[in-house]
A = this chain, B = another copy of it.
Amino acid sequence: MFKELIIPEIKELLRKKDYKSIKEFITECHPSDIADLLESLTDGEAAILFLLLPKEQAGDTFSELETKKQEAILKQLTDQQIRELVLELEPDERTELFEELPGQITRKILQLLPPEDRRETLKILAYPEESVGRLITPEYIAVKPYWTVKEAMEYIRKNGKDAETIDIVYVVDDSGKLLDDIPIRRFILAHPDDKVESLMDGHYISISAYEDQEKAVQLVKQYNLIALPVTDSKGILLGIVTVDDIIDVMEEESTEDFRKIGGVGLSEEEDLVANVKEMSLKRLYRSRVPWLLVLLFMNIFSGGVISLFEGTIARYVVLVTFLPVIIATAGNAGSQSSTLMVRALAIGNVKLSDWAKLIGRELLISAALGLTAGIGIFFIGIARGGIKVSIVVLMTMIINVIIGSILGMSLPFLFTKLKKDPATASTPLITTMCDIIGTSIYFLIATNILF
């Protein structure tokens, strides 16, 4: 009766892709009613409805279903059509609509899938881009705490062939919750009749599927792991991330930072880490042109500043001959500072809170660098433009190198604070900012001292 009334309406809402209304409606229903409903829909429709269920309900509903329907829905969840449908949505809309699937079901889906389909499916399971969830592989060994070592070894013998590693064996309870990780050597050294429980020490490092991949890299580095277990928000073991995937992530992130600091790629597109040799000319052009134009229009300001001082320049043309060396040196000092900081922030040597501590150091070093550079150019200043011009050049050089360095050092922190990648403080950006500021300071000092 309930069913007869509701099914046509649900089908209509599905057709209209009005997922919000469906979600509102089914959240009110009892799991056994939902299970009933799912049985009456086509497998494709049932899969979408299932994805819309809140996490708690999804687990209960799944257990109410007949095994045949369970498998059908799992199969549908990995189907191309469902994928396309779900991927049509905006990422944040998707995250809002679809709940995290219960860990046990995620794991089952992962185990069903061939590796090449896995990444695509992890995308749909709404793990955000660059999250640990995207790296999960289900090829690990998990044993129960109440098994004997002999039983466990028997199980490893049978299932170890497909595991990515058997160096570490995971222990889970009956609901699949991660309890511990045990090095295989402890099994080999133990008595066959010992319980797995007796080998446990309760110390293990794990990570949530929603964490940033960067965090996984740090854990693997810090604890010298060869695999990192990944859990859902309830602590259910979903799979592991292996060290070879971690190596790939490290390389991708370094490449991304590298390109950003060189001013390539304004967006967070995936092709940031594509192979330069194989990228299409169009994509390469598009990855380079945005920054180039942004910087170009910033540079027009330098020109604007200069045009304010045309009178000064007309009287002292020699000032122009020092313009390149002054703005370039400030830009170079700034680039050095920003590269040092971007990398230090990326590998975790420096934290956001270190800024205040570091600025004092930067002031001292940049003053020393500015003085060195200033003296380097001072005597050429005397030779070409006389003592007054050379004093202008010396003063400008010191001030500009300090400002450039402080700017280069601080911008990566600012971008981090704004939740942007610190590498956005690219060397071209720093150089351009130094150009504008440096030109202004140069001609201001010159106009004041020379006239």
Q: Which residue from B263, B325, B432 sits with its C-beta under 8 Å from A300?
A: B325
A54 close to chain B: CB less than 8 A? no
Residues of B within 8 A of A258 (CB): 254, 257-258, 261, 339, 342-343
A347 close to chain B: CB less than 8 A? yes
Instruction: Say which one of A3-11, A181-189, A205-213 lies at the interface with B.
Output: A181-189
Q: Which residue from B300, B333, B344 sits with its C-beta under 8 Å from A292?
A: B333
Contacting pair A264 B160 (CB below 8 A): no
A285 close to chain B: CB less than 8 A? yes
Residues of B within 8 A of A263 (CB): 332, 335-336, 339
Interface members, chain A 335-362 (any B CB < 8 Å) = 335-336, 338-344, 347, 349-350, 354, 357-358, 361
Contacting pair A262 B373 (CB below 8 A): no
A284 close to chain B: CB less than 8 A? yes
Contacting pair A331 B439 (CB below 8 A): no
A322 close to chain B: CB less than 8 A? yes
A276 close to chain B: CB less than 8 A? yes
A304 close to chain B: CB less than 8 A? yes
A414 close to chain B: CB less than 8 A? no
A291 CB to nearest B CB, Å: 7
Contacting pair A288 B377 (CB below 8 A): no
Q: Which residue from B261, B295, B369 sits with its C-beta under 8 Å from A332?
A: B295
A226 close to chain B: CB less than 8 A? yes
Q: What size tier do the contact residues of chain A reach?
A: 35 or more
Q: Which residue from B221, B295, B304, B342 sits with its C-beta under 8 Å from A321?
A: B304
Chain A positions 67 through 109: 1 when the CB is less than 8 Å from some CB of chain B, otherwise 0: 0000000000000000000000000000000000000000000
Contacting pair A292 B373 (CB below 8 A): yes
A157 close to chain B: CB less than 8 A? yes
Interface members, chain A 288-306 (any B CB < 8 Å) = 288-289, 291-293, 295-297, 299-300, 302-304, 306
A307 close to chain B: CB less than 8 A? yes
Contacting pair B160 A189 (CB below 8 A): yes
A399 close to chain B: CB less than 8 A? no
A384 close to chain B: CB less than 8 A? yes
Contacting pair B343 A259 (CB below 8 A): yes
Taking CB as reference atom, which chain B residue is nearest A299? B325
**Quick one: copies of this chain in the complex?**
2
A26 close to chain B: CB less than 8 A? no
Residues of B within 8 A of A254 (CB): 250, 254, 258, 343
Given contacts A264-B340, A324-B327, contact A310 B302 (CB under 8 A): no
Given contacts A259-B343, A276-B349, A292-B369, contact A321 B335 (CB under 8 A): no
Taking CB as reference atom, which chain B residue is nearest A190? B157
Residues of B within 8 A of A221 (CB): 244, 247-248, 251
A265 CB to nearest B CB, Å: 9
Residues of B within 8 A of A338 (CB): 262
A448 close to chain B: CB less than 8 A? no
Residues of B within 8 A of A299 (CB): 324-325, 328-329
Q: Which residue from B188, B295, B304 sits with its C-beta under 8 Å from A153?
A: B188
Question: Can you pick out 10 interface pairs between chain A and chain B where the beta carbons lie within 8 Å of each other?
Answer: A261-B262, A262-B339, A277-B350, A281-B365, A293-B373, A306-B321, A313-B313, A313-B320, A332-B428, A332-B431
Taking A324-B439, A331-B428 as known contacts, 8 extra A-B pairs with beta carbons closer than 8 A to each other, sorted by chain A number, are A160-B189, A224-B244, A247-B250, A276-B341, A292-B329, A292-B333, A296-B329, A302-B324
List the 10 closest pairs (A to B, CB-CB), nearest first.
A262-B339, A302-B324, A299-B325, A303-B321, A224-B244, A167-B167, A332-B428, A254-B254, A427-B427, A306-B321
